[in-house]
Amino acid sequence: MLKNKLLYLLFLIIAGFFSILYNEYFIGVIFLAAVILPVVLFGIVLYSSFKIKIKLDVSALTVEKDEYLNLIIYLKNKSAFPVSRMELSIRYYNEFSGIIKKEKIQLALDRNSFQNVSCQITSGYCGNMLFEIKSVKIYDYFHIWSVNKKVRQAVQVSVLPKIYEISGDIITENNLLLVDSDVYSEYKPGDDPSEVFGIREYREGDKPNRIHRKLSYKQAQLMVKEFSDPIKDSIVVLMDFNYGEKPERNALSRSLISAVTSDRPGAGNESEHEEMLRLTDGLLDCAMSVSYNLLLNEHIHKFAWYDKERDSLRQLLIKNKQASSAVFEIMLKTAFAWNGPSVLSGYARSIYKQNNTHMIYITSVLKEEEIYEWAESHKETLLYLLYVNHLDEHPVNEELKSLLQNLGITVYEIDINNIQESITAMGYI
């Protein structure tokens, strides 16, 4: 644009020189028009900037990792002047991975017109992606002036982990432990009269005391109350996002979030950062697949993890797929500590401690003493241990496997280099 200004200034100097040299009316008019034109152009582009409306939208607020997302920009020019050139600067940022990308889109708008621009974007990592329009520049017809239009448009999209189907039911054993539950099945009725599951038409064999008299009178047919079925299993999925103390791969002196949200050039070892993201992605893929399998087999369950910002354990109940997605959206906003307090022993001391029939412990670090102590003090709970890591570099040794089996702990090994096959194979063990 500076080049255009210099060229136009040169044109004005030449036009002024000729108007003085020849002192002709026609040349004087041309020179005067050349002087006024930039002012008129600036007025048009300034007026147009107030008449242009921009809206940012997405095709979905929740997508899976590696799934394409349509980013849509709606533009409306209400002015009587066409816009020959407009430049939009779009920034999208993955809060979890810290990856920032910028795109510039150039377009033209006709007068009194509506236009939308769509582009496909994908994320290779889980996390909450923030899309925002950073700047909008509107140029005049000669590209001498430009006006920056303030646009406060942003939209957030949750990129959830991938779900890999696990054959069968991951809960392979029933626990004889009886627990008092105030959580009821959403899938089938039962015999607990404290809560009504639903109301249906009378069928032969139904007990007379279950007839809903008032509704039967209104409907002019017999209607029966179905009672709820209290959940007999108390299943908790415990997520451990500690990365251990191996400096060659996992050690970072800050939490994952704080490490990646700084301007990343020069902010740390890139390969180390990449490995941490892959490991965390593997843990989340595994957790999402497990939650999906539990819901598929009608297991209402809880998710628990350590929240660094709260400096405490957090636990949420998952009754259906919508609740599962919502929990993972919350989890993706969590600051994960690379070497935080023990989640396994911390859970036993937390406000959530109770007699669980099953615990699924997902971790990338095996702390033998903690697992042994927990198993000894929770013999009534069936423990499933899901170890997620680079199995070629950090495998589970045979001695530890034998010890865990003797403690009645079911161990699944998940290789992040072959994660789909490892998770799918869980159903065959």
User: Which is more confidently placed, 12 or 101?
Assistant: 101
DSSP secondary-structure letter at 397? P
pLDDT of the residue at 313: 85
Share of the chain above pLDDT 90, in %: 19
Label each residue of 255-305 as H, E or C. CHHHHHHCCCCCCCCHHHHHHHHHHHHHHHHHHHHHHHHHHHCCCCEEEEE
Contact 408, 382 (CB under 8 A): yes
State pLDDT tens for residues 316-359: 988 888 888 888 888 887 655 556 677 888 877 776 666 788 88
- Cα separation, 264 vs 277, whole angstroms: 14
- Beta bridge partners, 114, equal 76
Amino acid at 277: L
pLDDT of the residue at 53: 93
The four Cα atoms 57, 63, 65, 70 give a dihedral, to 10 degrees, of -30
Please give the C-alpha separations between residue 332 and each of 228, 271, 325, in angstroms, as whole numbers. Answer: 33, 22, 11
User: Which is more confidently placed, 303 or 10?
Assistant: 303
pLDDT of the residue at 233: 60
State pLDDT tens for residues 97-126: 677 888 899 999 999 999 998 888 888 888
Could you tell me the pLDDT band of residue 289, with boundaries at 50, 70 and 90? Answer: very high
pLDDT of the residue at 244: 58
Could you tell me the pLDDT band of residue 50, with boundaries at 50, 70 and 90? Answer: very high
Question: Which structure tokens are listed for 306?
Answer: 């350590």
Give the distance from CA 33 to its chain's centroid: 56
User: Which is more confidently placed, 209 or 247?
Assistant: 209
CA angle 259, 264, 267 (to 5 degrees): 65
pLDDT of the residue at 336: 59
- pLDDT of 264 > 60? The answer is no
Token look-up 């010890």 returns 403
- pLDDT of 148 > 50? The answer is yes
Token look-up 């279950």 returns 210
State pLDDT tens for residues 353-384: 667 888 899 998 888 888 888 888 888 888 89
- pLDDT of 143 > 60? The answer is yes
State pLDDT tens for residues 69-86: 899 999 999 999 999 999
- pLDDT of 139 > 50? The answer is yes
Residues sharing a CB contact under 8 Å with residue 256, sequence separation 6 or more, in sequence order: 96, 241, 276, 280, 335, 336, 338
Average pLDDT, the chain: 79
- Beta bridge partners, 162, equal none
- Cα separation, 418 vs 209, whole angstroms: 56
Contact 166, 289 (CB under 8 A): yes
- pLDDT of 252 > 50? The answer is no
State pLDDT tens for residues 194-245: 566 667 777 777 777 677 667 777 777 777 777 665 556 678 899 988 775 5
